[in-house]
Structure 1
């Protein structure tokens, strides 16, 4: 933490995570935060206008040349932008910050503060490595993070890659690929189940042989049935909801971690 850190940053105070209520939208406060954090990172009005205009493919107003008028123009541009373009602008600002970031810290600070803002305002996105990606519930985050780490440690790169693909699908903008997320999440679980079972059977056949206590084994079988119907054999007019996809990815990830840990001796974890 630098000497210029604020009181709350120095002492570790921050607002609690708010329940996610904003996904396919960019409310006024989000639009303001994207710009204000860019200015705080050292971008000037002219550079900010160039960045915003490039993303929106708008011609800068040649009649605006003073800093105050340029800032007003930038605010009008982002206020009128489609919601998903606001997050494109955030990514571009992050990239542009590097041009004048001689300390090598401003990009990380922009990403950290923007993500913290999202958490405190119930926005279901976060910035990772300069990209705006999906942010799920706390259970979703813990389950998917543990799944990837556990799969890699257990030597299951295919399953880990399937979880990565599920996260990419559920993060797609402007519309998440919910069926793709379900397919990849269940594919990851099937990979793990086959490895634990030592067979090439389908997940539906393997479930009854897994060391999952009743009645949780029945719940897993129903999850597999739901995923098979909604992820592979979509009924006309019955596309899975975003919340259903998030639930499947969360549960599939958590069960995968459980199976791998059950199959791994405690001393070797």
Structure 2
């Protein structure tokens, strides 16, 4: 049973001052809206089976990892923050924003229901993962990655179980791995630079799919790998990968797909 907390009590949890929460990770219920600005969060934070209302972090620095499991939120927004790992699993969130981060190592969403997802203007990251079993109505993933600033071997991985609309514009990463193009969905990629474009199990004929301006970071080494994805093979014939010298088609077991990520090294 979640414990009701007020604004002051929730602030103490984020500041690492609630020792009971740090030890037991008791579920919490917060009905209000909390905006935390210019705050140093010194320790790992794990919210399990909680209800957190509206949470907004502005220009905060997370020294530990933060995770949300089986938690409900109307709004979770990170603006201009610095992170290690962020894990969101089996959550229900109306609106989730990750914008203008100074650094994020790993941002992972798995098995969650999200109405609106916005990941924008994050220049330095190692992994952004919208993984399997997610149900997302609308996603905008724009202006992430900076080839000169980002020293990580960065990956954007997208494989939600269901989505209505997904748009990627003006992104840069070492690897882009697309694990689905949805069913009866709209999927758009415009202006993306990477050294490995990996498409796996992208076969739906019912989705509206548009790829434009796909570019290699290193023209001599960049590859496109198409695994069990006849819809992408058809798009290849339309010239969407015309700037790539190395284009490979595979029929492969799903469990072996991850080995192709090494091709970008």
TM-score by length of 1: 0.25
- Higher relative helix content: 1
- Higher relative strand content: 2
Larger radius of gyration: 1
TM-score by length of 2: 0.25
Say which structure, 1 or 2, has more relative contact order (CA 8 Å, 6+ apart).
Answer: 1
